[in-house]
Structure 1
Amino acid sequence: MSSEMQVFRLPDLGEGLTEAELVNWLVAVGDQIKVDQPIAEVETAKSMVEVPSPYAGTVAELHGQAGETLDVGKPLISIAPVGATPAEPKAPAATDDAVSTGVVTDAEASAAAETYRTEEKAGSGNVLIGYGTPGGATAGRTRPRKGSVAVVDSAPVAAPVAAPEAPMEPAVAGTRIPGKLSAVISPLVRKMARDHGVSLDAINGSGASGLIMRRDVEAAISAPEAPAAPSAPAQAPAEAAAPAAASGDLDGRTGLAVSARTPVRGVRKAVAANMTKSRTEIPEATVWVDVDATALLDMRAELKKRSPHDTPGLLAFIARFVTAGLKKYPALNTRFETGADGSQEIVGFDGINLGFAAQTDRGLVVPSVRNAHQLSARELDAEIRRLTAVAREGKATPTELGSGTFTLNNYGVFGVDGSAAIINYPEVAMLGVGRIIDKPWVVSGELSVRKVTELTLAFDHRVCDGETAAGFLRYVADCIENPGGALADM
């Protein structure tokens, strides 16, 4: 190993995210660490992530404190070679050999970070982050996890960033281990493979020199012979108490004392930006219809009598109807894009990634079932339950939280009938399902009490007109009212 100090910079952890909040250090200055050992927990706009070290050696300096927001590409940790004695941190000095001595100037850090972000971030599978290889020096002690800082709950949604035609090489040179290029992968790729039971040894990397890319692992996950095998992630740190009151701070407009000031950052910052973009760019319209769900409830009750332990939930059946409806009305499973030159196009997809809103301790998140159109109601139910579990643990991957093409929102669990939902940008439509309650309903000319719910569809009027939106909504409603016949045709 080189005798020079290694400076590891905060990597792009997926989907082109530009910053992350440092939740907790897992090591301290003086610790002996090995390659791929987790060194810190950070929270991005997507999820909680453990960042592994790309180097073995002695921790020389930690560049940041818990609760601090760090930019991608800025120094995260400095590591001295194995056997070296870490020196006391020095004040930054503008010298030509600053990097080689382990001291990074502010100007260098900013320039390197900007280069890193420009060349590395991409949201369609081309994220190229060279760090982390098998093996390494003998492991040293690991500090116990400290209490976490406050986490603001929200619905993590981020628009994919346009991917370059080919992965770029130069910016990753400082984060790779010499001689190990073909085995080097990002921690996001490594975690994705581990969570889905994919062997990295069996993957031929499509990147330069055989580098394994995120798209390579995604292809292995979606392959029929490589079923997902989710791991049991460690329990996410508990949220800290609410922000303390700003004692003595009076609001000039109301004259009232300010009880708390909550910084908008991390997940909430990403959500605010995404929702604002949705409302600003999408000319949305809404259609809704009341639906008699009695037959669907009766059918599920009968199935439950026959098979009590693996009967799909109502949301899984509705999800099955939605995927069938999107095949008939594909305009709602698209994306509206505007090019840098002002040109516009509607992008269609060969497949459906069905997102669904899930309430967690961190707020409302939207994981997505990939290739949902290929799954039965029972398979959809299993995947919805799996994704809900990992989302609530804060361990859902950026791909699981940011790859949807259409969103299904069951807000009926909150006891409401309808909602004027904000479309999950950059998607073009969202279907909401209200609570199911007893209502008077006319059946065969006679009044009776039925189980009724309300379906609400918000859609982007740029991609289709009301006839298409109404046709899709009516199709899903008819499936709910006649589930046996609908499933027989699917």
Structure 2
Amino acid sequence: MSSDLQVFRLPDLGEGLTEAELVNWLVAVGDQVKVDQPIAEVETAKSMVEVPSPYAGTVAELHGEAGQTLDVGKPLISIARVGTGSGSPDAPADAADAVSTGVLASPEVSAAAETYRTEEKAGSGNVLIGYGTPGGATGGRTRPRKASVAVVEPAAVPEASFEPAVAGTRIPGKLSAVISPLVRKMARDHGVSLDSIEGSGASGLIMRRDVEAAISAPEAPAATAPAPAVAAAASAAEGSVDGRTGLAVSARTPVRGVRKAVAANMTKSRSEIPEATVWVDVDATALLDMRAELKKRAPHDTPGLLAFIARFVTAGLKKYPALNTRFETAADGSQEIVGFDGINLGFAAQTDRGLVVPSVRNAHELSARELDAEIRRLTAVARDGKATPTELGSGTFTLNNYGVFGVDGSAAIINYPEVAMLGVGRIIDKPWVVNGELAVRKVTELTLAFDHRVCDGETAAGFLRYVADAIENPGGALADM
């Protein structure tokens, strides 16, 4: 390897994480990069982060493709020092140079390379596929061939730049049918064969819009038999028969990223925590009336219902601190209940990446209005995949508003290593006795799951009743907080 080539390895991402999924390259081979310039987006079990480059120079090689899981410490990118060109005399600086290695480049090819480069950088939507693009593995579904695919001879293309499995007619002087690994990932995730797509870009370059059109096109029987590799993949996903049920397997979805972390956390919670559950129906009419009155006075600055309930929860945890602890077992078998001087209130947030639990740090110090602002901010960054490991892993108690999904109650699994979780169901009209008379009231159900090792039912019931009473008499409760 040339001494002028600087190899940057995937850094330690903190929180004990040992791997990350490469979601998106922000640079391409031949690009000039500066120190601290973001070069890739990676997704860990905690969040999605941008990885900055510690070197300046020319990108010589990308070690991995979108969708690939990389171990911490493994090569991520190779960068040639400024003024030395690429790290290898045989490696072209960009896609246009790749074409000129062994074949004569044309202005059309150079234009296509520049089109690709511009779209990758600017995120035009034609090539760049960022985080959050929906779709999953649906098996090796193939579509009818539309036209031959133009690709470069393998000798003219650096390994890290193109997919060697793309097959089709090779036309000298043309770019590869697909330059972007992100477009390839989109096609792979939706089971679309790139052989069947006629690229609309310069020199037959397959763009994101071409793959999207293929995904939305009605399916038809394939005109030709799939290649052996494609057939094998299809057999593994769709053609195989499950031995236990006798049914054909429709798809196999790898468990990784956030889903993998959630699965491990829930399994550990269920296996280690002897949890119990208590619940109560609550008349939330007064809380809704109070918020409606506040909204009349300040239409754009009124906290949401969850923020008020969060305020009641933090007050309740001060009164019943056993539910704001952690149960620890040391290597020698000794056990401790660890208490905290403060409350980091987690709340469940549904995102495209799965369920995550960002936490409001020092929530006990915040008003309902401040809690509302922080809940909204954390929800936004979590859904964008930008929440930090600290924001996602520092909670001491979780509030779960599953009422937004239209359900009344849930036997929730505690967010390990916490010891309790409060769930809030939907608020609906129900018959309720008020001052001895039947009336229609706004009623919700509160459900508390707690670790029976840290407290008995009396403590759990006391906390639950405190929050319920605050919801039913919010004015009086807020006056005392």
TM-score, normalization: structure 2?
0.69
> How far apart are residue 86 of structure 1 and its match?
2.5
Q: Distance in 1 between matches of 2:164 and 2:325?
A: 34
Following the alignment from structure 1 to structure 2, what is the Cα–Cα distance between the partners of residues 64 and 128? 17
Cα deviation for residue 30 of structure 1 reads 2.7
**Contact persistence 1:244–1:260 (CA under 8 A):** no
Name the CA distance, whole Å, in 2 between partners of 1:327 and 1:351.
9
- Using the TM superposition, give the Cα deviation of residue 18 of structure 1 relative to its aligned residue in structure 2, in angstroms: 1.1
Structure 1 residues 335 and 198, CA gap change in structure 2 (3 angstroms):
farther
Deviations along 1:405-449, one digit per CA (max 9) or x if unpaired, are: 100000011111100000011111000001111111111122211
Change (3 A) 1:97 1:208: closer
User: How far has the Cα of 1:88 moved from its partner?
Assistant: 3.5
Distance in 1 between residues matched to 2:202 and 2:340, nearest whole Å = 28
Q: What's the offset of the Cα at 1:60?
A: 2.5
Determine if contact 1:189/1:217 at 8 Å carries over to the other structure: yes
8 Å contact from structure 1 (residues 44, 266) kept in 2: yes
Alpha-carbon spacing, 1:467–1:16, altered in 2? closer, same or farther (3 Å):
same
Deviation at 1:5, TM superposition (A): 3.1
Query: How far apart, CA to CA, are the structure 1 residues paired with 2:363 and 2:8?
Result: 38
Q: Distance in 1 between matches of 2:230 and 2:350?
A: 15
User: What is the CA deviation profile of residues 374-402 of structure 1, one whole-angstrom value per residue up to 9, with x for unaligned ones?
Assistant: 00001111111111111111111111111
**What is the rounded CA distance, in whole Å, between the counterparts of 2:222 and 2:476 in structure 1?**
31
- Taking a change above 3 Å as real, the CA distance of residues 125 and 29 of structure 1, as seen in their structure-2 partners, is closer
Report how far residue 78 of structure 1 moved: 2.0
Answer whether contact 1:42 1:49 (CA < 8 A) is retained.
yes
Task: Return the match for 1:443 from 428, 431, 434.
Answer: 434
Determine if contact 2:137/2:189 at 8 Å carries over to the other structure.
no
Equivalent position SS for 1:90:
coil
**8 Å Cα contact 2:324-2:418 kept in structure 1:** yes
Q: Report if the CA contact (8 A) 1:132-1:184 is conserved.
A: no
Structure 1: tracts of 5 or more residues without a match: 154-159
CA distance in 1: counterparts of 2:414 and 2:13, whole angstroms: 25
Aligned residues: 480
Give the distance between the partners of 1:332 and 1:199, measured in 2 at CA. 53
Please give the alpha-carbon distance, in whole angstroms, between the structure 2 residues aligned to 1:224 and 1:207: 23
Cα separation, 2, equivalents of 1:185 and 1:317: 51
Provide the residue aligned with 1:200 in structure 2. 194
Larger RCO: Structure 1 or Structure 2 (Cα < 8 Å, ≥ 6 residues apart)?
1
> Does structure 2 conserve the Cα–Cα contact (< 8 Å) formed by 1:184 and 1:212?
yes
- Change over 3 Å in CA distance of 1:313–1:89 after alignment to 2: farther
The change in CA–CA distance for 1:265 and 1:14 in structure 2 (over 3 A counts) is: same
- Of 189-198 and 308-317, deviating more is 189-198
**Aligned Cα RMSD in Å?**
17.6
Write the distance in 2 (CA, Å) between the matches of 1:208 and 1:423.
54
- Contact 2:143 2:219 (8 Å CA) reproduced: no
Instruction: Identify which range, 235-244 or 168-177, moves more after superposition.
Output: 168-177
Q: Is the 8 A contact 1:126 1:164 kept in 2?
A: no
Q: Deviations over 1:14-51 (max 9, x none)?
A: 31211100112222233221101111111111222111
User: Which whole-Å CA distance do the structure 2 matches of 1:100 and 1:152 have between them?
Assistant: 10
Q: Is the 8 A contact 1:245 1:259 kept in 2?
A: no
For residues 290 and 280 of structure 2, what CA distance do their matches in structure 1 show?
A: 22
- Correspondences of 1:252-331 after superposition (within 5 Å): 252-331=243-322
Asked if the contact 1:60/1:89 (under 8 Å) is kept, the reply is no
2:228 match: secondary structure: coil
Please report how far the alpha carbon of residue 71 of structure 1 lies from its aligned counterpart in structure 2 after TM superposition.
0.8
Shift of 1:143: 29
Deviations along 1:1-24, one digit per CA (max 9) or x if unpaired, are: 996532211112231211100112
Give the Å deviation of 1:220: 50
Contact 1:367 1:400 in 2 (8 A): yes
Asked whether the equivalents of residues 78 and 102 of structure 1 are also in contact (C-alpha less than 8 Å), the reply is no
- Residues 444-467 of structure 1, C-alpha deviation per residue, up to 9 Å, x if partnerless? 122211111110000011111111
In 2: Cα distance, 1:302 partner to 1:465 partner = 39
Deviations 1:135-180 (A, max 9, x none): 9999999999999999999xxxxxx999999999999999999999
Show CA shifts across 1:341-388 (max 9, x none): 212111111111111111222222211111110000011111111111
Report the CA distance shift for 1:26/1:189 in structure 2 as closer, same or farther (over 3 A): closer
Please state how far the C-alpha of 1:296 moved relative to its aligned partner.
0.7
Moved more, 472-481 or 160-169: 160-169
Q: Deviations over 1:41-73 (max 9, x none)?
A: 111112221111011122232222221101112
- When residues 202 and 247 of structure 1 are mapped into structure 2, their CA distance, relative to the original with a 3 A threshold, is closer
Describe the SS at the equivalent of 2:93: coil
Select between 28-37 and 187-196 the one with higher mean Cα deviation.
187-196
3-state SS of paired residue (1:170): coil
Contact 2:61 2:77 in 1 (8 A): yes
- C-alpha distance in structure 1 between counterparts of 2:466 and 2:403, whole Å: 20
2:105 aligned residue: 105
Structure-2 change in CA distance of 1:242 and 1:140 (3 Å): closer
Q: How far is 1:222 from its partner? A: 48
> Which range moved further: 324-333 or 251-260?
251-260
Give secondary structure in 2 for the equivalent of 1:175: coil
Question: Cα distance 1:215–1:55, how it changes in 2: closer, same or farther (>3 A)?
Answer: farther
Change over 3 Å in CA distance of 1:148–1:100 after alignment to 2 = closer
Is 365-374 or 317-326 further displaced after alignment? 365-374
Could you say if the C-alpha distance between residues 105 and 228 of structure 1 is closer, same or farther in structure 2, counting changes exceeding 3 Å? closer
Residue 193 of structure 1 and its aligned partner are, at CA, apart by: 36
State which drifts further: 173-182 or 337-346.
Answer: 173-182
- The whole-number CA distance in structure 2 between the counterparts of 1:101 and 1:305 is 70
Whether contact under 8 Å (2:109, 2:203) holds in the other structure is no
**Range with greater deviation from structure 2 (359-368 or 90-99):** 90-99
Number of the residue aligned with 2:386: 395
> Residue 99 of structure 1 aligns to a residue in which SS?
helix
Give SS of 1:201's match.
Answer: helix
Identify which range, 25-34 or 429-438, moves more after superposition: 25-34
Runs of 5+ unmatched residues, structure 2: none
Any idea what the Cα deviations from partners look like across 1:291-345, whole Å, max 9, x if unmatched? 1111111111111111111111110000000000000011111111111221211
Please report how far the alpha carbon of residue 192 of structure 1 lies from its aligned counterpart in structure 2 after TM superposition: 30
1:247 deviates by 3.0
Q: Partners of 2:201 and 2:330 in 1: how far apart?
A: 27
Measured after TM superposition, the shift of residue 204 of structure 1 is: 57
**2:48, 2:386 within 8 Å by CA — same for their partners in 1?**
yes
Which string of whole-angstrom CA distances, capped at 9 and with x for unpartnered residues, describes residues 253-299 of structure 1?
22221111101111111111111001011111101011111111111
Evaluate the alpha carbon distance shift between residue 320 and residue 82 of structure 1 in structure 2; reply closer, same or farther with a 3 A threshold. same
Task: Determine the C-alpha separation between the residues in 1 that align with 2:468 and 2:476.
Answer: 13
Q: Indicate if the aligned counterparts of 1:40 and 1:51 stay in contact, CA closer than 8 A.
A: yes
Structure 1 residues 181, 7: CA separation in 2 closer, same or farther (over 3 Å shift)? farther
